[in-house]
Structure 1
């Protein structure tokens, strides 16, 4: 499985998730949507939304997009 967090620096909910990432056992790629507009376009094309934070969970050809900082933290903590 691969994980990518869509975020931007000025979002307090994003910061909440970012601060917890080092405590998890899985590697999460960070995708700053303000620094790279392609990340925002990818998210919008896949979900119809540009809300951050958003965790992309890839399992082979399957993708799941998870919103809400508390849900993302709880999910990653459970891995």
Structure 2
């Protein structure tokens, strides 16, 4: 059985981030929310590990492997797929 976890890097006032959070709530997929404005460590992690400062960004960890998904539409499609 695979072990998966998800973290959404976001900013409170970003309309694209709000769309992803709304989709998360309707899909019942549990995401850890990481506000990159309130916590600079999350911002640094996003840039250093994800490769860019863009939000929203979904960090997907599956079986110890990490991948980073950008673009709100792509993230919403992914959430709907795994719901």
TM-score range, shorter chain: over 0.9
**Which of 10, 14, 33 is 1:11 aligned to?**
14
Aligned length: 79
- Provide the rounded CA distance (Å) in 2 between the counterparts of 1:18 and 1:26: 10
Give the TM-score normalised by structure 2. Answer: 0.89
TM-score by length of 1: 0.94
> Per-residue deviation at 1:74?
0.4
Q: Which runs of 5+ in 1 are unaligned?
A: none
2:73 corresponds in structure 1 to 70
| CA positional deviation for 1:24 | 1.6
What is the CA RMSD across the aligned residues, in angstroms? 0.9
Deviations 1:30-52 (A, max 9, x none): 00000100001111111220100
